[in-house]
Amino acid sequence: MSNHRFLLAVDSTPSSQRELKYVSEMIRGREDVELCLLYIYPEPPPNYYSQGGTLQDYTRECKKEAAEIFKQCVTLLSKVINFQQISTESVMAEGQPFSTVILAKQEEYKCDTVVLGKRGISKTEEFLFGSVSNAVARSSHDFAVWIVA
């Protein structure tokens, strides 16, 4: 039997915590699942370099933050599945919308389901800046998208 692959976009927000709790309940005890935890971080702010920062410093800071988030996620998920069923990756968006990165990773990992937390942004903010979950959902043609409120 082939494994069902889930891509979970995670961060340090309460919506991400709700996403993890929901997925935990849905996969409890299953041995036929693989979870790919993905942490995406933006490019450094424009003034980062002018203040003496380097790309290497920024990447190290972001990966350290990602490692802490992954540790918390794996601790929670390991209560319901074997930790060997969980993989992690942190990646910089590099001038792309987060939704584009998520879609590329979904394709790369061949995930059947993408799970996102809903941020709860206003309609105005969504109109001006877009919504990651809406963009991913609109682009899902051969995989499921779970948007956890």
Q: What is the CATH number of the domain that holds 14?
A: 3.40.50.620
| Cα(102)–Cα(92) distance, integer angstroms | 11
pLDDT band at 120 (very low <50, low <70, confident <90, very high): low
Structural domains in the chain (count): 1
Quick count: other Cβ atoms within 10 Å of Cβ 90?
19
What is the domain extent for residue 42? Answer: 4-148
| Cα(71)–Cα(69) distance, integer angstroms | 5
Query: What pLDDT digit, counting tens, does each position of 58-81 carry?
Result: 999 999 999 999 999 999 999 999
| Cα(29)–Cα(123) distance, integer angstroms | 38
Query: What pLDDT digit, counting tens, does each position of 74-117 carry?
Result: 999 999 999 999 999 999 999 999 999 999 999 999 999 999 98
